[in-house]
Amino acid sequence: MGDILFRQVFSTYIESGLPLIVAMDNGHQMGNVGHALIAIGRTRTTDELIDNLAVSEELDTDLKSIIGQKDIQFFDNDDIPGRFVFIDDNMPPYQLQHFETPALHYNNPNWKTCRISEFVAPLHPRMYLEAVAAKVYIKKLLLGGMFPIANGTEIFVRLFLTSNRSYKDYLARNVSFSATVREFITNMLMPEFIWVAEISDKANIKRRQAYGLFILDATEPDLNRHSKLIFGGYKNIFYYWNEEKSEIVKNYLASGSFSIYVNNLKGF
């Protein structure tokens, strides 16, 4: 797994509000320091961080080709170079450090150079759909011709994990959402855990607004089936999986723009 993808996956699970067990070491400098700590959140996502966010480097060859052909400006929330909140038993709590330098708060130069080598995300045993697969599926569904995306479009994607109940609670109270789409989603049967991707652009995400929404079943083990797609909507089209008939249904109904979900971590 490349360094970029490793950092993105770390960020996705942090955005999901999960505490991660992190292993860091200075093995890249042939050192012998190794330590475990906990990552519990991130710093506030400021407008400046969003403005300075660079276009995401796409690793998937199919997606890279589509993005290149359509000249799409693709931004990933997981690329935002903010700092994460670490709990390190050698230090006072809530150390704020970048992913690349998790031990910068140490005085010892050997420790300072430690990098994150592994992390463990505590997931429910039935959560089979991982962050990487969920993001690839959403990106391919969004960019693969199923939605009307014009050449040169700017897209900002924010992916996170949450529970069905928390998300429906947010939806039910979110009056910014189209009433029909909101009612449709809140009435859908969902598993206990879901992946949610909000689609926006830089200008709208700074206003905490999105206009595309994907909801995936995080407990779906079969990556080849669309059964993991609970809802996939962008602008005036949405798809959903009809479980009873095992079929995918395309609908024309505008979702409008809506306030993003901030119940996992405050301070977006």
Partner 1 sequence: MAITLNRKAEIISRLEKSGNSRVLSWEDAEEMAAMYGPKKQIRKEFPPQKKPKLRL
Where on the chain is the footprint of partner 1 (CB under 8 A)?
A: 1, 5, 23, 25, 27, 32-36, 59-60, 62, 117-118, 132-133, 136-137, 140-141, 144, 146, 180, 183-184, 187-188, 222-226, 239, 242, 245, 247-253
Q: Which CB atom, from 96 or from 248, has the smaller least distance to partner 1?
A: 248
Q: Shortest approach of partner 1 to residue 75 CB, angstroms?
A: 21
Q: Shortest approach of partner 1 to residue 199 CB, angstroms?
A: 18
Kindly give, in sequence order, each residue whose CB lies less than 8 Å from that of residue 224, ignoring residues fewer than 6 positions away: none
Cα 66 to Cα 188: distance, rounded to the nearest angstrom = 32
Cα 8 to Cα 258: distance, rounded to the nearest angstrom = 25
Query: Residue 151 CB: number of other CB atoms within 10 A?
Result: 8
Dihedral (Cα; 116, 155, 138, 63), 10-degree rounding:
-80
Q: Shortest approach of partner 1 to residue 245 CB, angstroms?
A: 8
Q: Which CB atom, from 29 or from 52, has the smaller least distance to partner 1?
A: 29
Backbone angles phi, psi at 35, to 5 degrees: -155, 150
Q: Shortest approach of partner 1 to residue 101 CB, angstroms?
A: 19
Cα 42 to Cα 40: distance, rounded to the nearest angstrom = 7
Q: Which CB atom, from 74 or from 268, has the smaller least distance to partner 1?
A: 74
List the Cα angle 173/178/184 in 5-degree steps: 80
Helix axes 131-143, 3-15, angle to 10 degrees: 100
Q: Which CB atom, from 114 or from 205, has the smaller least distance to partner 1?
A: 114
Q: Which CB atom, from 138 or from 265, has the smaller least distance to partner 1?
A: 138
Q: Which CB atom, from 60 or from 201, has the smaller least distance to partner 1?
A: 60
Q: Shortest approach of partner 1 to residue 209 CB, angstroms?
A: 24
String of b and e for 55-80 (b: at least 16 CB within 10 Å)? ebebeeeebeebbeebebebbbbbbb
Q: Shortest approach of partner 1 to residue 70 CB, angstroms?
A: 16
